[in-house]
Chain A
Amino acid sequence: MRFLTCLLLATSATTDATAELRIVSPRAGEVVHGVVPVEVEAGEAAVRRLEFYVDGRTAGELAAPPWTLRVDLGEDNVEHLIEVVARTAGGRRLEASVRTGRIAVHEEIEVTLQQVYVTATRRGERVLDLRAEELELEEDGRRQAIVTFARGEVPFTAVVLVDASLSMQGEKLAEARAGVRAFAAGMRPLDEARMVVFADRIRTATPFSTFPEVLVASLAGAGAGGGTALNDALRLAVAQLDARQGRRVVLLLSDGVDSHSVLGMAQVLPAVRRSRAQVYWLNLEAGRARDGATVRSPWRTAAEHQEESRLLVEAVIASGGRVVPAPSAAAITAGFADLLRELKEQYVLGYYPRERRRDGSFRRIEVRATRPGVETRTAPGYVDL
């Protein structure tokens, strides 16, 4: 924290030179959120480096014009302080800043509609014709009135995590490309996704996009290599989705053996529980379960690896997603197609919880179908924040 404070002090100092540097966009008081371009005019100044800060934190820097940087301001209705600091060839320091606005409200009404995503099956086949009155929803054991009901037409935002570590070499990665292509092509116009290719670190990532061409391009040149930092990648995926609205999904394609993350799955699990994202794991090494698996790595013992795998499954279940076995590379494309179909066939129920405590407590949810033989799957609850 001392470091951050020093940074703030340094950047808030003013000089007479600010007149030569101007933030053109966003304008002072303008209401902005999400990823926005911060456009700076440097005039005649011979700028060699331009640093960008948002709310006192480094947002990036540029070494050459155009002096426009895209920054993520998040989705909250809050003001932001945007500052820029230029270093000129002559050693001068120029600064400029704007404070963005927020939507003015006379009275804040808390809208607490909770959405629950439900997959209904009968003898393993998904059931597509349930009516709202055939579903019962309880929170912490108390029956809740379902106020909104839809099936499939609610758009989703997905982060697709593709493991490109060395163990994915050859056919697996080729099939992963095919699977991603099919998934992207099958998305509806309002669905959007971001493709993230990871190994022992995040290799490439597309922006959130609805265009299959954009999403597939990320995998075109991806080769397999390196280790696997699955936990770290999952943590970042959840963080990206936390900043989005609506139905959020993580699709993870991996053999599920984390060997190089700095975070343990025990540290990622709470973030998954807090998040409202559903995590689906296309498990490429499902066949190993036949006789048990042995995994060696310098960072974990075999027992620790087994525990990591167990916790990953726990995270998936806690999110309301599921593990999709893919015993061979040939099953990847079919797995992606199955997941996309499931998302399109999922029921979305909305209800108003009787009370919101916002105390971080876990609220248990149960959804039942009254139609005989129909089973439901949903997240076991949510963290009340």
Chain B
Amino acid sequence: MTRLCAGLAVLLWAIGAAAELVPQALPGVDARTAALLLSGQRGGSIRAAVSAGPVTPAEGAACRLDAWIEVDGDSLLGDPRSGSAEVEVSIYAMAAAGRVTAFEGVLLHLDQESLGERLRRHGLRLHRHLAVPCGVQTLRVLVLNVATDEFFLGEAEASLAGEGWIVQVLAPPGEWVEAVSGDLATSPPAARPLLRPGSVVWLALYPPGDGLQAIEARGRLAGGAPEAIATPMSEAASSGAPGEGRTMEWLVPDNAAEGSAELQVLIAAAGGDVVLRVPVSVGRADGPLTWLEAEAQAAPAAPPASSAERLPSATELRAEYLGVLQLLTGEDVPLALQTAAELQRRVIGDGNAARRERLARTVLGVAAEVAGDGGRHLSPLLWLHLELFHHFAGAFDHLHATAAADHVVSLTGLCDRGRCSEQVRAAAGWALASLGGAHARRASWQPARRHFRRALALAPELDEARLGAAAVAEWIGEYREAVDVMRSQENSPGAGGEALLRLGVNLRRLGEERRARAVLQRCASADAPQWARVVALEELARMELAAGRPGEAVALLAPAVGSLPGEPSLRLLLAHALEGSGDMAAAAMLLRELAAAPGGLEESPRLRYTRWSEESAGAMRRAVRDAARPVLPALAAVLAERRESS
């Protein structure tokens, strides 16, 4: 059973239990997600918090672990014109020694029109429950805005109910946009409890053992001034079932001071006295109910305490960044990269927006200073930040990879409105195509789409960007967009085989059969890579079969099978077409031959079609490097001039 707000759809896209997961061994988006979740990183630019219920007995040998994720709605919403916003939420449960015991991936579709306002005001609360082995678990959660690639990484500990005392402050009802899965009778724990003076707060108390012992509980707030005396808690309800909590009520003192505090629960029980502690915030008596609403009402925050490093001043930062560029122009590229990476880590910390902004402004400011006429000195900077992106992405450091990618994109912005020479625009296009390819490889379709399209805007003749943009558009089901991207190739005598193929396949999807056939026929007979010719022939044959013309398909495929004998897909289609033509014996023989000759380990043409070429990925990176190297002496001279003048 799933309880949802109207306008919200939840799709489960991955589920597992007791699986040993190795990030490098997982495919596509799973690999990135796993790596992020297992990296131990926390933070990100989406405001969210995670809480976990205790691990409680369930049916069979497994236990149940409830997870709640509270997310700031503003950071999930995108362009209101796009209708729906997509958010991926991945949840891992891990036992001691880092063993993954359960995982779940959820894709949320948020209807911006119906939910936007409520999301902005109150946020989203998602509940999932996982089957886990009985024992202490750590929940790790990744919330990813699919459109922007912004994310949140969080963690919560879950103890085994019955093994010791556990206390949790329960969340007030709130007005969340809510998605709750499964039967859920009790209130969830608050991920970041916010108490209001003079109001009742409810707590869930899980005693050790069978939980039935008589207890006396009192509460007090410590850490906030003034120090309060402990006041009694009363028991509101208890099911008495093993593993289920006892709900306690406590009146927050009228004089509780605003700010961070610790709620201490003092328990007197037969086994002895116990003090349990929960970090809380105290708000205003008439203030908001949840931490998200409280933060939304507060003034823009200063950099949080979690970014422990001191934020360098703008002048200091500029000097350090110029130092990195000097290393680069001195051709000590590894040291320049290492220094730049350290600088970025130190400045951005755990992803605080203000810190990111300051570094971005520094990079862009220096770039504008040194760019020169037609942006001729920009290529080395593009190269530096592109390499930083690949460095961080390779280490599954999503936070810093995203920041590095942002720097590349903002540098290419200096070329807008024709301010750069054709050469520099080409370098910017290569850098963006490289970013697009890297995002496409990780199934980050929306960022990939943006990068490829921007690459094409700067360098319209960049075939690699065009192919990438079309491939990504197909992945997200935007077939018209794929056609639009490729339209210029339709009547171009020099159009490449892959371009013709993508154009033809998407024209067919849009029902434009005549144009599709013409383009696919050009591809099949052109000097195209074999995989592209095979897919073109497949699609032409499928068109004939779909139109009820198996004889035409046989006429097309029989010679193709002769000229491309190693392609089982063409033989399979020929067999199908022969069957359709009534030649069952010939079809049966062909099928038996096919079955007797496995296709081996090579990538099939249809699989090759689904990705951007690896060769292009390498070529784009090399092209940026090759564009940057000749410019380094000139950039060095500019940097030297600035040193002397300062």
> Which A positions have Cβ atoms within 8 angstroms of B?
1-4, 54-55, 57-59, 72, 74, 166-167, 169-171, 196, 200-205, 225-227, 229, 232, 235-237, 239-240, 242-243, 259-263, 267, 271, 287-288, 290-294, 296-299, 301-302, 327-330
Q: What are 9 residue pairs bridging A and B, where the CB atoms are less than 8 Å apart in the complex? A: A170-B19, A170-B21, A200-B607, A203-B598, A226-B604, A242-B588, A291-B11, A294-B13, A327-B15
CA distance A262 to B571 in the complex (A): 11
Given contacts A2-B555, A291-B10, contact A296 B598 (CB under 8 A): no
Tell whether, in the assembled complex, residue B13 and residue A170 are in contact, meaning their CB atoms are under 8 Å apart. no
Interface centre among A260, A261, A302 (most CB of B within 10 A): A260
Partner of A292 from the list B12, B22, B596, B603 (CB cut-off 8 Å) is B12
B573 & A262 in contact (Cβ 8 Å cutoff): yes
- The answer to whether the Cβ of B372 comes within 8 Å of any Cβ in the partner chain is no
Interface size of B in residues (CB-CB distance below 8 Å): 62
Which residues does chain B contribute within 8 Å of A227, judged by CB atoms? 604, 606-607, 610
Could you say which residues of chain B place their CB within 8 Å of the CB of A260? Answer: 604, 606-607, 610
Inter-subunit contact A290/B12 (CB<8 Å): yes
Tell me which residues from 1 to 47 in chain B have a Cβ below 8 Å from any Cβ of chain A.
2, 10-13, 15-22, 25-28
Pair A301/B606 contact, Cβ less than 8 Å: no
Q: Does B136 touch A at the CB level, under 8 Å?
A: no
Q: Are B558 and A1 in contact (CB under 8 A)?
A: yes
In the complex, which of the residues A4, A169, A291 contacts B12, with contact meaning CB atoms closer than 8 Å?
A291
User: Is B606 within 8 A of A72, CB to CB?
Assistant: no
Shortest beta-carbon distance from A164 to chain B in Å: 10
> CA separation between A72 and B591, bound complex, in Å?
11
Residues of chain A within 8 A of B568, CB atoms compared: 201-202
Q: Is the CB of B576 within 8 A of A200?
A: no
- A291 touches which of B2, B545, B561, B591 (Cβ 8 Å): B2
> Cβ of B599 < 8 Å from any Cβ of A?
yes
Using Cβ atoms and an 8 Å threshold, which residues of chain B touch A235?
572, 576, 591
Are B22 and A170 in contact, CB atoms less than 8 angstroms apart?
A: yes
CA distance A322 to B601 in the complex (A): 30
| Nearest CB in chain A: distance from B477 CB, A | 6
> With A3-B558, A292-B11 in contact, do A263 and B19 touch (Cβ < 8 Å)?
no
Q: How far is the CA of A57 from the CA of B585 in the complex (A)?
A: 11
Q: Tell yes or no: B165 within 8 A of A by CB.
A: no
The answer for the CA separation of A72 and B588 in the assembled complex, in Å, is 11
Q: How many A-B residue pairs have CB under 8 A?
A: 159
In the docked arrangement, what's the CA distance between A294 and B568, Å? 29
B269 within 8 A of A: no
Quick one: CB contact mask for B571-598 with A, threshold 8 Å, 1 for yes? 0110110010000001011111111101
Residues in A whose Cβ lies below 8 Å from that of B591: 235-236, 239-240
When each residue 540-560 of chain B gets 1 if its CB lies under 8 Å from chain A and 0 otherwise, what string results? 001001000000001100110
Name the distance in Å between A37's Cβ and chain B's nearest Cβ.
14
Q: CB < 8 Å: which of A58, A225, A229, A262 contacts B542?
A: A262
Given A235-B572, A262-B573, verify A298-B610 contact (CB < 8 Å).
yes
Which of B198-206, B328-336, B468-476, B486-494 lies at the interface with chain A? B468-476
Question: CB within 8 A of A232: which of B477, B554, B572?
Answer: B572
Residue of A nearest to B602 (CB): A201
For the complex, is B264 an interface residue (Cβ under 8 Å from A)?
Answer: no
Residues of chain A contacted by B589 (CB below 8 angstroms): 54-55, 57, 74
Query: Are A57 and B592 within 8 A (Cβ)?
Result: no
- Docked complex Cα distance between A278 and B598 (Å): 23
Q: B535 — nearest CB in chain A belongs to which residue?
A: A262
Give the CA-CA distance A1 to B16 in the complex, in Å: 51
Contact call A201/B604, Cβ cutoff below 8 A: yes
Distance of A261 Cα from B561 Cα, bound (Å):
17
**Do A74 and B592 form a contact, CB below 8 Å, given A169-B25, A226-B607, A262-B538?**
yes
Instruction: Confirm or deny: B181 has a beta carbon within 8 angstroms of a beta carbon on chain A.
Output: yes
- Which residues of the other chain, A, contact B573 by a CB distance below 8 angstroms? 262-263
Roughly how many angstroms separate A268 CA and B601 CA in the complex, as a whole number?
A: 24
A55 to B589 Cα, complex, angstroms = 10
Q: Which of A72, A169, A291, A293 contacts B181 (CB 8 A)?
A: A291
Residue of B nearest to A300 (CB): B477
Q: Are A262 and B588 touching (Cβ within 8 A)?
A: no
- When C-beta atoms are compared, the residue in chain A nearest to B610 turns out to be A298
In the bound complex, how far is the Cα of B572 from the Cα of A235, in angstroms?
Answer: 9
Q: Does B526 contact A (CB under 8 A)?
A: no
Inter-chain contact A232/B569, CB cutoff 8 Å = yes
Measured CA separation A288–B576 after assembly (Å): 32
Residues from chain A with a CB closer than 8 A to the CB of B15 are 287-288, 290, 327
In angstroms, Cα B573 to Cα A261, docked, is 10
Residues of A within 8 A of B595 (CB): 202, 205, 236-237, 239-240
The smallest C-beta distance from B99 to any residue of chain A, in angstroms, reads 12
Give the 9 A-B CB pairs with smallest separation, nearest first: A239-B591, A201-B599, A3-B558, A291-B12, A298-B474, A166-B27, A200-B604, A200-B607, A294-B11
Smallest Cβ distance from B231 to chain A, in angstroms? Answer: 44
Check B495 for interface membership: any CB of A closer than 8 A.
no
Q: Which residues of A contact B545 (CB under 8 A)?
A: 267
- B184: shortest Cβ distance to chain A, in Å? 15
Report how far A302 CA is from B109 CA in the complex, Å: 14
From known contacts A202-B568, A291-B2, A296-B477, infer whether A243 and B592 are also in contact, taking CB-CB under 8 Å.
Answer: yes
Q: Which residues of the other chain, B, contact A299 by a CB distance below 8 angstroms?
A: 606, 609-610
CB pair B588–A239 under 8 Å, yes or no, is: yes
Q: Is the CB of A328 within 8 A of B610?
A: no
Instruction: Contacts A57-B586, A294-B11 given; indicate if A1 touches B555 (C-beta within 8 A).
Output: yes
Known: A236-B572, A262-B572. 6 other contacts (CB 8 A): A170-B20, A200-B607, A205-B598, A288-B15, A291-B181, A292-B12
Query: Does B600 reach chain A (CB closer than 8 Å)?
Result: yes
